[in-house]
């Protein structure tokens, strides 16, 4: 199940176990609101604004399960700490199949729509939507939701995509981890609720480091074997000649080093459970939690991106690198991406389907 391993089995690696269970549980939880005609009372003085952005997809909608898994494990006091803002990212929200659903009205603190009149701004958004300029529109939508969430005054702003499911008990784990982050919030930008291990393998950019390590291991082995041959009598019984040491160092040591790399990085150097820095190869924007004081800077970075075709996470990563800002992640992740239909288009997208947290499926 290690995607960086030569022995990786896609059938086992992408097997939906815990995420499938959570999807069923989330849908069942939201069904309890199915016939509701009430509106959820507005949360006052929230600790977190939880923004969920959703679009109309052809054939399958994920929003119901996403909201269900975010809400079903919250007790009363925890729910009162969260302002749930669901953003219908359609210029005509009535085209979204879930817009008028009773469970949505009953569970969300606010159902957000584009707060613009029939102006040039709305025409621009409609143009992005109709021309399928998903990179540009996703950046606009992300910044828009960030701004509206920050306006609630909540000290934490979490932005989650609608094609995810959450671990049962995600909220206390998230708050515990946030409490361990540096108090000086201008030094870090977000904590990841999701990442995929596919991008965190034996990355080619580090080839020189790997080469140096291999040479050091080989040289160290040679020194140890020669020392043992000279000083340890029992060693000489098994390794009779210096030529035997050359065989060990030129064949067996490289063979074991090769096997080490073939086994995969996550098998040999796994991320242990808990909070840790993730400065590189973090993907994607399925779930990020920002300190509120950093939201204006994140919005500025998105709106002034040098290349609007960048995905939001690429824009934020590039900006964070320039500013020297830390990024953190929780292991195992709090979210799983279950979307086979990418928000970048309506067709089944194998690339979107492979954005996957293998560690998430180990929850029980």
CA distance linking residue 4 with residue 265, whole number of Å: 6
Residue-level pLDDT at 346: 45
Residues 6+ apart with CB under 8 A from 160: 50, 51, 52, 53, 66, 70, 166, 193, 286, 287, 335
Residue numbers of the chain with a pLDDT score lower than 70: 36-39, 117-118, 240, 306-309, 340-353
Residues 6+ apart with CB under 8 A from 167: 18, 22, 69, 173, 332, 333, 334, 335, 360, 363
Residue-level pLDDT at 351: 61
Which three-class secondary structure state does DSSP give residue 91?
A: coil
CA distance linking residue 272 with residue 274, whole number of Å: 6
């Amino acid at each position: 199940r290690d995607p960086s391993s030569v022995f990786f089995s896609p059938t086992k690696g992408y097997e939906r176990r815990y995420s499938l269970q959570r999807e069923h549980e989330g849908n069942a939880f939201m069904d309890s609101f199915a016939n509701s005609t009430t509106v959820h009372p507005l949360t006052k003085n929230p600790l977190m604004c939880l923004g969920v952005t959703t679009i109309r997809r052809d054939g399958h909608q994920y929003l119901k399960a996403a909201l269900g898994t975010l809400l079903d494990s919250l007790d009363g006091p925890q729910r009162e700490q969260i302002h749930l803002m669901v953003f219908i990212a359609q210029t005509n929200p009535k085209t979204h199949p879930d817009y008028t659903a009773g469970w949505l009205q009953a569970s969300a603190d606010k159902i957000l729509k584009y707060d613009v009149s029939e102006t040039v701004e709305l025409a621009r958004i409609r143009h992005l939507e109709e021309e399928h300029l998903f990179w540009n529109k996703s950046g606009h939508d992300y910044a828009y939701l960030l701004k509206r969430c920050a306006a609630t005054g909540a000290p934490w702003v979490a932005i989650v995509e609608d094609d995810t499911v959450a671990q049962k008990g995600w909220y206390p784990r998230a708050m515990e981890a946030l409490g361990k982050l540096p108090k000086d919030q201008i030094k870090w930008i977000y904590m990841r609720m999701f990442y995929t291990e596919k991008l965190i393998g034996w990355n080619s950019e580090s080839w020189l480091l790997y080469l140096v390590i291999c040479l050091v291991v080989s040289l160290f082995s040679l020194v140890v074997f020669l020392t043992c041959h000279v000083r340890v009598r029992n060693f000489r019984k098994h390794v009779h000649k210096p030529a035997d040491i050359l065989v060990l160092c030129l064949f067996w040591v490289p063979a074991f080093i090769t096997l080490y790399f073939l086994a995969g990085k996550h098998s040999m150097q796994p991320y242990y459970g808990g909070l840790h820095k993730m400065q590189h190869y973090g993907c994607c924007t399925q779930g990020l939690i920002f300190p509120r004081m950093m939201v204006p800077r994140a919005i500025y970075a998105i709106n002034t991106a040098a290349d609007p075709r960048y995905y939001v996470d690429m824009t934020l990563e590039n900006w964070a690198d320039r500013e020297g800002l830390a990024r953190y992640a929780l292991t195992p992740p709090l979210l799983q991406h279950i979307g086979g239909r990418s928000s970048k288009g309506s067709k089944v997208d194998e690339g979107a389907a492979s954005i996957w947290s293998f560690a998430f499926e180990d929850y029980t």
